[in-house]
A = this chain, B = another copy of it.
Amino acid sequence: MAPSATTYGTSPASEAAAAQHKNEQDVDLTGQALEHKMAEIAKSKNGSSTPSTKAELDASKLIYELTTSPRPVPASIEAACAGTETICTDHMVTVAWDAETGWATPELRPYGPLSLMPTASVLHYATECFEGLKVYRGADDKLRLFRPDCNAQRMLTSAVRISLPAFPPVELEKLIVALMAVDGPKWLPRGGGPDEYLYLRPTMIGTQPQLGVQAPRSALLYITASYMPRLDVVKGGMRLHTSPEDMVRAWVGGFGYAKVGANYGPSLQATIEARARGFHQILWLYGPEGYCTEAGASNFFVVLKDKETGQTQLVTAPLDDRLILDGVTRRSIVQLARERLAGEVEVVERRYTIAELQDAHKEGRIVESFAAGTAYFVAPVSLVHHRGEDIPIPMATETGGKYTKLVKSWISNIMYGQESHPWGVVIEERE
List chain A positions with a Cβ less than 8 A from chain B: 1-3, 25-26, 28-34, 84-86, 88, 92, 111, 113-119, 122-128, 130, 132, 160-163, 199, 201, 203, 205-206, 208-215, 217-218, 222, 224, 226, 228, 241, 243-248, 251-255, 260-274, 276-277, 296-297, 375, 387-388
Please report the C-alpha to C-alpha distance between residue A88 and residue B263 in the assembled complex, in whole angstroms.
Answer: 31
Contacts of A26 in B (CB 8 A): 244, 387-388
Contacts of A122 in B (CB 8 A): 122-123, 261
In the complex, are the beta carbons of B114 and A115 less than 8 A apart?
yes
- Closest B-chain residue to A162, C-beta based? B265
A120 to chain B, nearest CB (A): 8
Known contacts A212-B375, A217-B84, A266-B162; decide if A253 and B261 are in contact (CB<8 Å): no
The listed residue (B25, B30, B203, B246) touching A253 by CB distance below 8 A is: B246
- Closest B-chain residue to A297, C-beta based? B213
Please report the C-alpha to C-alpha distance between residue A271 and residue B222 in the assembled complex, in whole angstroms.
Answer: 27
A312 to chain B, nearest CB (A): 32
Contacts of A261 in B (CB 8 A): 122-126, 261-262, 265
Contacts of A264 in B (CB 8 A): 124-126, 213
Contacts of A132 in B (CB 8 A): 211
The interface centre, meaning the residue of A1, A208, A253, A261 with most chain B CB atoms within 10 A of its CB, is A261
Please report the C-alpha to C-alpha distance between residue A206 and residue B3 in the assembled complex, in whole angstroms.
Answer: 26
Known contacts A118-B111, A388-B26; decide if A199 and B215 are in contact (CB<8 Å): no
Please report the C-alpha to C-alpha distance between residue A3 and residue B3 in the assembled complex, in whole angstroms.
Answer: 35
Please report the C-alpha to C-alpha distance between residue A427 and residue B241 in the assembled complex, in whole angstroms.
Answer: 49
The interface centre, meaning the residue of A132, A246, A271 with most chain B CB atoms within 10 A of its CB, is A246
Please report the C-alpha to C-alpha distance between residue A265 and residue B125 in the assembled complex, in whole angstroms.
Answer: 5
The interface centre, meaning the residue of A28, A118, A241 with most chain B CB atoms within 10 A of its CB, is A118
In the complex, are the beta carbons of B254 and A248 less than 8 A apart?
yes
The listed residue (B85, B228, B262) touching A209 by CB distance below 8 A is: B85
Top 6 nearest A-B pairs (CB, nearest first) are A126-B261, A262-B262, A248-B253, A125-B264, A126-B126, A163-B268
In the complex, are the beta carbons of A30 and B130 less than 8 A apart?
no
In the complex, are the beta carbons of A213 and B276 less than 8 A apart?
no
In the complex, are the beta carbons of A126 and B28 less than 8 A apart?
no
In the complex, are the beta carbons of B114 and A268 less than 8 A apart?
no
- Closest B-chain residue to A199, C-beta based? B211
Contacts A1-B276, A114-B123 supplied; 15 other A-B pairs, CB < 8 Å: A29-B241, A85-B117, A86-B211, A111-B118, A113-B116, A113-B117, A113-B118, A114-B117, A118-B224, A122-B123, A122-B261, A125-B268, A126-B126, A132-B211, A246-B252
Contacts of A116 in B (CB 8 A): 113-114, 116
Please report the C-alpha to C-alpha distance between residue A87 and residue B241 in the assembled complex, in whole angstroms.
Answer: 47
